[in-house]
Amino acid sequence: MKGQFKLVYVLMLVMFAGILSACSDDAGSSNSGEEWTGKITIWDGPRWAEEGDDSGEDGEGNKYFWLEEKIKEFEESHEGVEIELVQVPWAEMPDKLGVSIAGKSWPDIAPVDISGSAVSIEHIEQGVIESVDEFFTDDEMNDFYENAREAYTFDGELYGIPNSITVHSMLLNLDLFEEAGVEPPENGEWTWNEFADAAEKLTFDRDGDGEIDVYGFSTYILPGYYEAWPFFYINGGQPLSDDLSEFTFDDPAAVEAIQQLADIKLEKEAAPVSMGGADVGGTFQAWASEEQRTVAMEPWATWAITSAQTAYPTNFMVANYPTGESGEPVTIGGVGGWTMFHQDNDAKKEVVAEFMKHISSAEEQYVMSKEYGIFPALKSAADKDPFADNPEMARAQEMSSQVVMLPRHPEWKKIDEVIQRELQLVFNGEKTAKDAMDAAKAGVQDLLE
């Protein structure tokens, strides 16, 4: 009996060792004294197409070439490390991440879109985003612009690597201004009334068939995207109170601003029916595509400036958002970057962090600034002067002094979804701004309590 017991005991030890080995294989090899090997999964959205490359299925070239090249570099210098790139359209990123988090099947690395404001506090509190403090020296930390670092800081720790800063600005097609006989705003500065007047004058029947061919203005409304939102701030409104305890987009100053922008479409008919929908690509194509050019003015993050200088050559200028009752121009800024999702293996975590730093270096931020149309998050990258020969980007950079950041509430993602859903109803003409924001308040206030 003792011999049988001993045999069973030995077999159990062997099985247990096998289980441990299998778990180690799932996370990658991490033998003592050896570099970790295995697979790292990174998600990313399309950025900019390689110059001269029109090989993409959409005829616009490969918009993942930069990251693919960086992956190849890293794999060549880290034998046994494989990096899988999962291509995700930016508009689908929030929902896809939400599903992956719910199913505990998240990637190792995911991007934070520059259109937003900061790393998700909700994800941090859920324990699915890793702090990366341990991978940065004090000198490296101090190289980040303070607002960029703060956007990724929670409870004194850095959760992710900021690599880009953007502001939203108005892009004006000067050829359409000339065709309609409309003067663009001097120095890109104008009031709401001047903007609204221009939008009406820029709406015209080009070919004389009785149908409008060109509209003065358009934008889109979608959770996580804020190109339209600076218009809602121009009279002094804001979505939440300063202490983040109350919903304030129902304030008359905000309601009036929301309604007057919607009325550019609903009353003045100076915007296409699609305005206020969720078609990001279609909205941009209407302004930028040479085959269309059916909208004269649209607000975009600064990546669109570079796109209008390269992939979609356009005669354009950068302008402020119009001023309202506050008398001061205002815009919204975003900080893009990378977050690391929860890692069970410390050795793998170290390699993941190394790759994140590899694609976020000063040199890479300089390249992204010149080619993708963003401002670097590192002072050392900005010192390389990426916009020395780009007056449009230099003009947009001047607008950084006008930036207000979105509220950093832990429930912001859910709050944003409630607000954006109601805003879509306003721009579709299904609700007034007052009714929509009253409805939004009921939903948002529950999230604030």
CATH number for 95? 3.40.190.10
Query: Which helix (DSSP H) or strand (DSSP E) does residue 217 occupy?
Result: strand 215-217
How far is it, in rounded angstroms, from Cα 168 to Cα 397? 10
Instruction: Identify whether residues 292 and 415 lie together within a single domain.
Output: yes
Determine, yes or no, domain membership for 317. yes
Whole-number pLDDT of residue 307: 92
Question: What SS3 state is found at 189?
Answer: coil
Instruction: Identify whether residues 372 and 355 lie together within a single domain.
Output: yes
Determine, yes or no, domain membership for 71. yes
Instruction: Identify whether residues 264 and 412 lie together within a single domain.
Output: yes
Burial (Cβ within 10 Å: 0-12, 13-18, ≥19) of residue 137: exposed
How far is it, in rounded angstroms, from Cα 423 to Cα 91? 17
Instruction: Identify whether residues 272 and 203 lie together within a single domain.
Output: yes
The stretches in the chain having pLDDT less than 70 are 1-34, 51-60, 116-117
Whole-number pLDDT of residue 17: 40
Instruction: Identify whether residues 159 and 306 lie together within a single domain.
Output: no
Instruction: Identify whether residues 144 and 286 lie together within a single domain.
Output: no
- What does the CA dihedral 190, 195, 201, 202 come to, rounded to 10 degrees? 100
Determine, yes or no, domain membership for 385. yes
How far is it, in rounded angstroms, from Cα 273 to Cα 277? 9
> What is the rounded radius of gyration, in angstroms, for the C-alpha atoms of the chain?
25
Which segments within 177-255 are labelled E, that is strand?
215-217
Task: Count how many domains the chain has.
Answer: 2
- Residue 60 CA neighbour count, 13 Å, CB half: 16
This prediction has a pTM of 0.79
Instruction: Identify whether residues 418 and 292 lie together within a single domain.
Output: yes
What range does the domain containing 427 cover? 168-333+407-448
Determine, yes or no, domain membership for 224. yes
Determine, yes or no, domain membership for 11. no
Check: CB of residue 61 under 8 Å from CB of residue 53. yes
Out of 395, 420, 435, a domain closes at: 395
Determine, yes or no, domain membership for 113. yes
- DSSP letter (8 states) at residue 133: G
- How many Å from the N-terminal Cα to the C-terminal Cα in the chain? 65
Burial (Cβ within 10 Å: 0-12, 13-18, ≥19) of residue 14: exposed
- What does the CA dihedral 292, 295, 297, 302 come to, rounded to 10 degrees? -40
Nearest to 306 by CA among 369, 366, 395, 364: 369
Query: Which helix (DSSP H) or strand (DSSP E) does residue 435 occupy?
Result: helix 433-448
Query: Which helix (DSSP H) or strand (DSSP E) does residue 323 occupy?
Result: none
Determine, yes or no, domain membership for 437. yes
Instruction: Identify whether residues 317 and 437 lie together within a single domain.
Output: yes
Query: Which helix (DSSP H) or strand (DSSP E) does residue 190 occupy?
Result: none
Rounded to the nearest 10 degrees, the angle between the axes of helix 65-77 and helix 362-372 is: 160
How far is it, in rounded angstroms, from Cα 260 to Cα 121? 33
Whole-number pLDDT of residue 54: 55
Instruction: Identify whether residues 162 and 172 lie together within a single domain.
Output: no
Instruction: Identify whether residues 248 and 317 lie together within a single domain.
Output: yes
* pLDDT tens digits, 80-115: 999 999 999 988 998 899 899 999 999 999 999 887
* Other Cβ atoms closer than 10 A to 48: 21
Instruction: Identify whether residues 294 and 206 lie together within a single domain.
Output: yes
How far is it, in rounded angstroms, from Cα 114 to Cα 190? 26
Query: Which helix (DSSP H) or strand (DSSP E) does residue 15 occupy?
Result: helix 2-27
- What does the CA dihedral 31, 37, 41, 44 come to, rounded to 10 degrees? 130
Instruction: Identify whether residues 350 and 326 lie together within a single domain.
Output: no
At which residue do the structure tokens 């100076």 appear?
270
Query: Which helix (DSSP H) or strand (DSSP E) does residue 40 occupy?
Result: strand 38-44
Determine, yes or no, domain membership for 319. yes
